[in-house]
Amino acid sequence: MMAIAPHFVDRCQPVGPLPQVMCGAAVAIGNFDGIHRGHQAVLDFAMTRAKRSGLRAIMLTFEPHPRTLFRPDKPVFRLSPHTEKAQLARAMGMDAVLSLNFTHEFSTKSPQRFIDKVLIEALQAKHVISGYDFHFGENRSGTPDYLRAQGEHRGFGVDIVDMKSDCSGDAVSSTRIRQALEDGAVQTANRLLGYRHFVCGTIRPQKTHCRQLETVTASLCMTKNYRIKAGVYAVKVIRSDGSTHNGIARHAQHPALEANNRMLELHLFDFNSVLSGEQISVIFHDRLRSEQMFEQQDDFLVQMNTDLAQAQAVLQDAKPLSEFEDRLWSRYPVSMPEKAQHNATCSVGTRA
């Protein structure tokens, strides 16, 4: 993997000009939800290709997730919404992220139109890299073989990266990781990701809703689309100043929230400061137990002390799962990528 790009650019793009860094680059293309080990192989290949050719390496992706657009009644459990995806791409060493607005109109464009208007006209791509299972255009009719043939015909290089499998021989995929998290198998999900699953958010103003919350250091409101299994987890919390704190997180339905929304309640070890309104990252190390209800506050406090002791044992000797994870948190703990300026020389729009 490469070093982190010093001047990273992040752009969400419905229409308009693009910064020069995004034009004439090696383009890694895909949904990249979670940027798991398979995605990392694609991005690594793109960065290697870019370095050999003296190019920039950019990640081209789509928002919202196409499955959410087509099935709004069953939105995808996102492993990495756009901000987290950009943070991961930056830690990988990519120079930029371009996220195209994925609309129904955009989805009906032919594969040829996508190549003409996005890859050639707008991005002036010199090289395109995708995974073995990437499809694009109307009805997903654009295949890796079609992309390769068009590259040969239109004058840009194409590399298709093979499937990345784990020790079982099964493909590493976002679907497998989502299912592992829904099952509470955090360590399995982390192994497939190549780093520990995390969420970012802003701490809610402190309010005491019930006795379970009286000792809560901080809490995040999670949307109904975040479907990690309810229960208690050993976590690390990274503040915006880079400081790290061990603790537990309880993910559960809360009566103060709308139906289907859940609260992530955080209890941090030996921590008495006020975090209200602060942006943090919560990193999941392991699941300790299922959600429980307590009739007596004393019973709750006894169990919480047990949870804290178990979490401390899990966290005290925890090491980064990979060089990538170490780089992700050691340099840019809770960072917002630099927004692109409008002094650009190329443009792309979903109306093409």
| Counted domains in the chain | 2
> pLDDT (tens digit, 9 = 90+) per residue, 95-112?
999 999 898 898 899 999
Residues 159 and 229 reside in one and the same domain: no
Instruction: Name the pLDDT band for 11 (thresholds 50, 70, 90).
Output: confident
332 occurs within a structural domain = no
Predicted structure pTM score: 0.87
Range of the structural domain that residue 272 is part of: 196-319
Residues 163 and 28 reside in one and the same domain: yes
Residues 143 and 217 reside in one and the same domain: no
Asked if residue 346 has pLDDT above 50, the reply is: no
295 occurs within a structural domain = yes
Min mean pLDDT across 122-126, 177-181, 263-267 is at: 263-267
> pLDDT (tens digit, 9 = 90+) per residue, 64-98?
888 888 888 888 899 999 989 999 999 999 999 99
181 occurs within a structural domain = no
Q: Taking the CA atoms of 196, 202, 176 and 11 in sequence, report the sign of the dihedral they define.
A: negative
Mean residue pLDDT of the chain comes to 85
331 occurs within a structural domain = no
3 occurs within a structural domain = no
Instruction: Name the pLDDT band for 255 (thresholds 50, 70, 90).
Output: low
Residues 135 and 230 reside in one and the same domain: no
Instruction: Name the pLDDT band for 343 (thresholds 50, 70, 90).
Output: very low
74 occurs within a structural domain = yes
> pLDDT (tens digit, 9 = 90+) per residue, 148-191?
999 999 999 999 999 999 988 899 999 999 999 999 999 999 99
Residues 233 and 304 reside in one and the same domain: yes
Higher pLDDT, 352 or 303: 303
Average pLDDT over residues 208-216: 43
Instruction: Name the pLDDT band for 221 (thresholds 50, 70, 90).
Output: confident
Residues 138 and 272 reside in one and the same domain: no
Residues 136 and 275 reside in one and the same domain: no
